[in-house]
């Protein structure tokens, strides 16, 4: 969707949205290609060592769409997809969207409480899952009166599919019709369902293309360790790549390691990768990474900082492009090294097509002043609203602006510096301190593997900077090392930002998408 350009100004100036009135994601990412190039490779299944063509993807998704129709699934029904990164997951989402139904991506590591809330809240009519998921759902079936069908891909699924017709006409959906319901934790209350229209994929394209240096290019082949149950895996990688006819490498890691990630990228000649910050930090610990053939690496979720960016240039051979967004309005800020849209300490510029500002307390745009990162209504990537929660939807907006809940600074040339989530920013002795910058500095210490920084209540300063550190393998925690890390930050960063307390943990609390759960660290700090 982005035009070719040599500068960010040229890219923005030449961009215009192209959102048709009638549009179906499944047709776009599957049938469109199958009709003209049925043998074109869509997926590369690493564990099975085989490729899946767009023609095969159309056949399988048509059979599943007919199977669902035979079970009474109709347009507008909500269908859960509880599967890891595998062929059947892509087939399931495509089949559901062909049916005019709404797919609900669900993470396989969810426990019964998390699954029950999402399925009950959405009123799911069916779930497509595996044997493990089937057992979880069986234990809560009485709590889900609207759930009529559970399809187990591990039990007779092939026979059921074989008995279904491989002809199916995708529903003629509007670009505004609901398509995907993704639940997001937020910071308060139970997870809320962010409902997206079919246009959400088209809304993602400029951000995906910018973060991968004007993706696609000849020979591109993309992979991410991010699960397809999350917006980062599903709508930042799988669906945009299929839209462009670019092969997606598929690999389910039971346990992610840097060594295996490097080996996979080398084995499958991966050219483009979305690597969340935590994955990059784990890969950074791998000894002697092999030579790779990468063209682009994109990362989002948390600010990377200079240390990881420098490591990326040395070990990955590319400058990592950072991007920013959230489930409700994703891929709205990006850097792009190929057009000079990259600067130390800056997470990126507004992706063309999205009107971004940093707002002050009266919801007015400000420059060079910290405020709330906000997006103006009208972006096609913006959600329709929270499922069955008009109050929470209204609270997400201030007039024409969607409030991300994150703090940042917009510079005179439009560059946006990320400060942190509104509730993550530390207020200490009159200073406002973003945790990401402190964490990045701590990571430069040779004994440190991971770091999480929060504010700890303090009667004198309001809060002090508290660091929780996971040490590199073979390093023994002790008070002298804690003092050394504090002094390291004081010397290398700033006297007012150094951690006055450092504690060592065997692991940090992480979300399933690899972000540090700072609220758990804040709770720990309050109770110490």
Q: What is the CATH number of the domain that holds 427?
A: 3.30.300.30
Give dist(CA 31, CA 19) in Å, integer.
Answer: 18
Q: How far apart are CA 221 and CA 296, in angstroms?
A: 10
Q: Would you say residue 391 lies in a domain?
A: no
DSSP secondary structure string for all residues of 448-469: EEEEEEEEEEETTTEEEEEEEE
Strand (E) positions, 224-360? Answer: 248-250, 272-274, 296-300, 321-326, 329-334, 349-350, 356-359
CA 182 – CA 200 distance, rounded (Å): 12
Number of domains observed in the structure of the chain: 2
State the pLDDT at residue 514.
Answer: 75
- Answer yes or no: is 392 within a domain: no
- What's the rounded mean pLDDT across residues 95-104? 98
Q: Looking at residue 477, what is its pLDDT? A: 97
Indicate whether 33 belongs to any domain: yes
Among 128, 157, 173, give the residue marking a domain's end.
173
Phi/psi at 125 (nearest 5 deg)?
A: -90, -30
Residue 146 CB neighbour total at 10 angstroms:
13
Q: Which of 122, 154, 173 is at the close of a domain?
A: 173
73 within domain boundaries: yes
Q: What is the pLDDT of residue 459?
A: 81
Q: How far apart are CA 368 and CA 366, in angstroms?
A: 7
Residue 437 inside a domain? The answer is: yes
Question: Confidence band (pLDDT; 50, 70, 90) for 28?
Answer: very high
User: Which CATH number do you get for residue 99?
Assistant: 3.40.50.980
Q: What integer is the mean pLDDT of 48-74?
A: 98
Model confidence at 264: pLDDT above 50: yes
Using DSSP, state whether 133 is helix, strand or coil.
helix
- Dihedral of CA atoms 211, 15, 216, 176 in degrees, nearest 10, equals 90
Domain ends where: 119, 140, 173?
A: 173
How do residues 407-440 score in pLDDT, each as one tens digit? 999 999 999 998 877 778 787 876 768 788 789 8
pLDDT in tens, 440-454: 889 999 999 999 999
Q: What is the mean pLDDT of residues 143-149?
A: 96
Region of poorest pLDDT, from 58-67, 110-119, 330-339, 367-376: 110-119
Contacts of 81 (CB under 8 A, 6+ apart): 89, 92, 93, 96, 103, 104, 105, 106, 127, 128, 129, 229
Burial classification of residue 187, based on how many CB atoms lie within 10 Å of its CB (0-12 exposed, 13-18 middle, 19 or more buried): exposed
Instruction: Give SS3 for 56.
Output: helix
- Average of pLDDT values for 125-144? 96
Does 290 map to a domain? no
270-287 per-position pLDDT tens digit? 999 999 887 898 899 898
Residue 366 lies in a domain: no
Q: What pLDDT, on the 0 to 100 scale, is given for residue 186?
A: 52
407 and 372 Cβ atoms separated by less than 8 Å: yes
Predicted TM-score (pTM) of the model is 0.86
Within 13 Å and on the Cβ side, how many CA atoms surround 181?
25
- pLDDT average, residue stretch 20-48: 98
The residue range of the domain holding 138 is 24-39+49-173
Residue 266 has pLDDT above 90, yes or no: yes
What is the predicted pLDDT for the residue at 254?
84
> What mean pLDDT comes out for the span 139-144?
94
Neighbours of 194 (CB within 10 A): 26
User: Percent of the chain beyond pLDDT 70?
Assistant: 98
Mean of the per-residue pLDDT values of the chain: 94
Between 510 and 367, residue with greater pLDDT: 367
b or e along 383-398 (b: 16 or more beta carbons within 10 Å of the residue's beta carbon)? bbbbbebeeebeebee
DSSP strand pairing (272-274 vs 296-300): parallel
What pLDDT does 430 receive? Answer: 65
Residue 185 has pLDDT above 70, yes or no: no
Asked, for residue 116, whether it belongs to a domain, the answer is: yes
Per-residue pLDDT of 202-229, as tens digits, reads 999 999 999 999 999 999 999 999 999 9
pLDDT at 187 over 60: no
Q: How far is Cα 105 from Cα 119, in angstroms, rounded to an integer?
A: 11
């Amino acid at each position: 969707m982005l035009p070719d350009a040599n500068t960010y100004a040229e890219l923005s100036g030449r961009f215009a949205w192209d959102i048709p009135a009638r549009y179906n994601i499944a047709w776009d990412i599957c049938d469109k290609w199958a009709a003209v190039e049925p043998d074109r490779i869509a997926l590369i299944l690493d564990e099975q060592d085989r490729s899946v063509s767009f023609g095969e993807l159309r056949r399988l998704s048509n059979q599943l769409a007919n199977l669902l129709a035979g079970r009474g699934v109709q347009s507008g029904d909500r269908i859960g997809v509880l599967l890891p990164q595998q062929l059947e997951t892509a087939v399931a989402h495509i089949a559901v969207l062909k049916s005019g139904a709404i797919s609900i991506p669900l993470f396989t590591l969810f426990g019964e409480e998390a699954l029950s809330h999402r399925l009950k809240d959405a009123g799911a009519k069916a779930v497509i899952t595996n044997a493990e998921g089937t057992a979880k759902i069986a234990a809560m079936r009485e709590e889900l009166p609207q759930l009529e069908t559970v399809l187990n891909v591990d039990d007779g699924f092939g026979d059921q599919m074989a008995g279904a017709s491989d002809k199916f006409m995708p529903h003629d959906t509007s670009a505004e019709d609901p398509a995907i319901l993704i639940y997001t934790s937020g910071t308060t209350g139970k997870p809320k369902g962010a409902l997206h229209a079919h246009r959400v994929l088209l809304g993602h394209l400029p951000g995906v293309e910018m973060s991968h240096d004007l993706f696609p290019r000849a020979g591109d082949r993309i992979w991410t360790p991010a699960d397809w149950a999350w917006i980062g895996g599903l709508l930042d990688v799988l669906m945009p790549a299929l839209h462009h006819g670019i092969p997606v490498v598929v690999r389910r890691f039971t346990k992610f390691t840097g060594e295996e990630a490097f080996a996979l990228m080398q084995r499958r000649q991966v050219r483009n990768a979305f690597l969340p910050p935590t994955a990059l930090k784990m890969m950074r610990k791998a000894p002697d990474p092999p030579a790779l053939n990468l063209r682009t690496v994109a990362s989002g979720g948390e600010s990377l900082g200079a240390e990881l960016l420098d490591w990326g240039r040395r070990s990955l051979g590319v400058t990592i492009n950072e991007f920013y967004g959230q489930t409700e309005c994703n891929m709205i800020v990006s850097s792009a090294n190929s057009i000079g849209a990259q600067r130390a300490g800056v997470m990126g510029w507004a992706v063309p097509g999205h009107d971004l500002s940093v707002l002050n307390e009266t919801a007015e745009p400000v420059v060079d002043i910290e405020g709330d990162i906000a997006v103006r209504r009208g972006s096609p990537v913006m959600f329709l609203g929270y499922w069955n929660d008009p109050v929470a939807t209204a609270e997400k907006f201030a007039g024409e602006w969607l409030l991300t809940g994150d703090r940042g600074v917009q510079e005179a040339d439009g560059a946006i510096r990320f400060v942190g989530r509104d509730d993550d920013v530390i207020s200490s002795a009159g200073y406002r301190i973003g945790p990401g910058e402190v964490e990045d500095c701590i990571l430069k210490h040779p004994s440190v593997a991971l770091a999480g920084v929060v504010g700890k209540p303090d009667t004198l300063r309001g809060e002090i900077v508290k660091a929780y550190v996971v040490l590199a393998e073979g390093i023994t925690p002790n008070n002298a090392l804690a003092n050394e890390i504090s002094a390291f930050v004081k010397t290398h960063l700033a006297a007012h930002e150094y951690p006055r307390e450092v504690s060592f943990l065997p692991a940090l609390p992480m979300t399933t998408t690899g972000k540090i759960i700072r609220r758990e660290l804040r709770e720990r700090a309050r109770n110490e």
